Amino acid sequence: MHTYSKTDPILWTGRKSGQQLYLHEKVICVDLNSEQVPITNGRSWAILGYACDEGVKRNEGRIGAALGPDAIRKQLAKLPNHLRKNTLVLDTGTVDCQDGDLKKTQTVLSRTVTQLLQQNAFPILLGGGHDIAYGHYNGIKRYLATEGINKSVGIINFDAHFDLRSNQTTNNSGTPFYQIAQECKLAQSKFRYMCLGIREDANNSSLYGTAKDLGVSYVDKTNFNLLHFNTIKDKIAQFAKEVDYIYTTIDLDGFSSAYAPGVSAASPMGFSPEIVLECFKIIIASKKMISFDIAEMNPTYDIDHQTAKLAASLVHFVIHQSQ
């Protein structure tokens, strides 16, 4: 059974100030089945959960990512609020997958993303497996098509993996960008994809070949650090110039397990949060980011909520940096 559910407000708890000094005091829970997204003359951030690890299971990863969205919410709730009074932070519920039907779950996610964009809200999706990317991207495309907006969408993925595996056997958490590439080919549109943090020990030679064939731009982990930031900055800026909108996705397994132990495929060889934050400054400054998500949060393997705290801090950074 596929369900969409409103978030239980009890998840948004923390220190009480009575002055909205903390995010849990500012968040408004909205049921998209029966309520409209509130109108504001400021920014409207819409948090949406994707409680699904079916794609991870199919990709032979460690399951548990379905519990990720609520784990991130609990840590985000405690963080301080420095947003403007007319900025809305909305929790717009969760799409989950309870019967293993990944395709239908992604379709529900896609439609929900479209709905949020149509109501002038900026979607922030919390996963869940990285198969979130396929539904998320198609929700953006559906929105642009519905509104008659003929604009290009580029994808920036912070990740150790290309996630360009063939879906000939099945769709899973390792296939989303391959699926998107194939749909771009059918639509005779250019596949615009940049991957930051690629590790040679996490991708086989066939995946590197696929990336080359598809014209994927990437920075390998060896060069994805602050020592090489000027080069990285130029690559991101150039990518941003070539697209109208940017969909940004973060796979938490790209971080070193020193920062993110609670993921489906942990490794000590990943990147650090500092380089990601600096890259986000460039993406946000482009004024082209239309939506973003965080994938592969797996609380089953987390230590002292460290990964959930990292994910929450990334969301906190993006919404405050974008003011």
Q: Measured between alpha carbons, how far is 230 from 86 in angstroms, rounded to an integer?
A: 35
Tokens of residue 198, six digits: 């690629």
Q: 244 a known binding residue?
A: no
Q: Is 91 annotated as a binding residue?
A: no
253 is in an annotated binding site: yes
228 has binding-site annotation: no
The single residue listed with the structure tokens 């003011």 is 323
The answer to whether residues 239 and 215 touch, using CB atoms and an 8 Å cutoff, is no
Q: Residue 203 CB: number of other CB atoms within 10 A?
A: 22
Is residue 265 within 8 Å of residue 60, measured between CB atoms?
no
DSSP string, 50-117: EE--HHHHHTT----GGGHHHHHHHHHHTSB----TT-EEEEEEEEEESSS-HHHHHHHHHHHHHHHH
Element of type H or E holding 181: helix 176-186
CB of 253 within 8 A of CB of 267? yes
Q: Has 201 been labeled as part of a binding site?
A: no
Number of Cβ within 10 Å of residue 244's Cβ equals 15
Annotated binding residue at 302?
no
Residue ranges at the known binding site for Mn(2+): 130, 159, 161, 163, 251, 253
Residue ranges at the known binding site: 130, 159, 161, 163, 251, 253
